[in-house]
Chain A
């Protein structure tokens, strides 16, 4: 399956994502420059927006990137059901593109935080979680300063009711405790999806947890997320 990884000026996890995707048999990743409105004219089975500091987070993380030519095409693909994954800054770009709800605000500690966390899989009906079990606990690292998910109370309740939370921070046993919430994000939310279930955004970095060598627990859990798109039972259609 061909996967597009969109690179913006200031993206810095794009090459990492390419490296991680290449370790998964069956995935051929392409790096696509943000100015390419046609995404190279190729058909992609999925699009990934990697982490980093697109446009140095100027004005607000993700907002300038959301207006680039490649994103115009990604929005149309998303509307057609193509799987789209946004990681960290990519999640912020998806929120600013209107493809995912809410806002990602500054961490309540006001500090950038880089640490390995546990997240619980809350929704297995997306193309990026179809290979996982409901409630499965994954070990993946976060590294961000603006990852506090926010929605007004009524909308947040509706989000939960509709099952649109994809990942939730938890302790090693899977309990979403206050202590396992690194940023003050509401309801320990680490990732969400859209109503159609084909667009997913998460703050943790699966590409950094795709190899046992790089994981302090020796678990390549990130590869499970990335390789889910190869499963036929995933949501969404090809472009």
Chain B
């Protein structure tokens, strides 16, 4: 049984998967120390790297679209809860 009707509008949903705070982040550290800091951008304090997915879904409203994608990420282990945090937001640009 479908949880959501296939009627509705098309939404773009951003998913950002990053390491939980407290997990060592060698990729972000390397970009910071070996590239950015060395090139004169001393004001940059920290960089963390992650994975970005842009998901297009059909849903009746933005809240449903967000819930659908959150369920997808949880059910299919799009992120590993032992080490990752997963932020889902409506729109092409994460965080809105």
Contacts and interface: CB of A to CB of B under 8 A. Distances in A.
Given A108-B26, A184-B24, A184-B26, A102 B82 contact: yes
A152 B82 contact: yes
A151 interface: yes
Nearest to B82: A103
A67 B75 CA distance: 11
Contacts of A109: 26
A14 to B, nearest CB: 23
B46 interface: no
A106 interface: yes
B83 A105 contact: yes
B80 A106 contact: no
Contacts of A63: 76-78, 80
Contacts of B82: 101-103, 150-152, 155
Pick from A67, A150, A152 the residue with the most CB of B within 10 Å: A150
Contacts of A107: 26
A96 B23 contact: no
A166 B24 CA distance: 23
Contacts, number: 43
A60 interface: yes
A59 interface: yes
Given A106-B26, A184-B26, A150 B77 contact: no
A94 B24 CA distance: 22
Pick from B20, B78, B82 the residue with the most CB of A within 10 Å: B82
B92 interface: no
Contact of A105 (B22, B23, B78): B23
Interface residues of A, number: 23
B92 to A, nearest CB: 20
Interface in B47-96: 51, 76-78, 80, 82-84
Nearest to A60: B80
A184 B27 CA distance: 13
A194 to B, nearest CB: 14
Interface in A108-151: 108-110, 150-151
Contacts of A105: 19, 23, 83
Nearest to A105: B83
B30 interface: yes
Interface in A86-111: 95-96, 98, 101-103, 105-110
Contacts of B19: 105
Given A105-B19, A150-B23, 13 more contacts: A59-B78, A63-B76, A63-B80, A101-B82, A103-B82, A108-B24, A110-B30, A150-B83, A151-B82, A152-B82, A155-B82, A184-B24, A184-B26
Interface of A: 59-60, 63, 66-67, 95-96, 98, 101-103, 105-110, 150-153, 155, 184
11 contacts: A63-B76, A67-B76, A102-B83, A103-B80, A105-B19, A106-B27, A107-B26, A109-B26, A150-B83, A152-B22, A184-B26
Interface of B: 19-20, 22-24, 26-27, 30, 51, 76-78, 80, 82-84
8 A-B pairs closest in CB distance: A103-B83, A103-B82, A103-B80, A108-B26, A150-B83, A102-B82, A110-B26, A63-B77
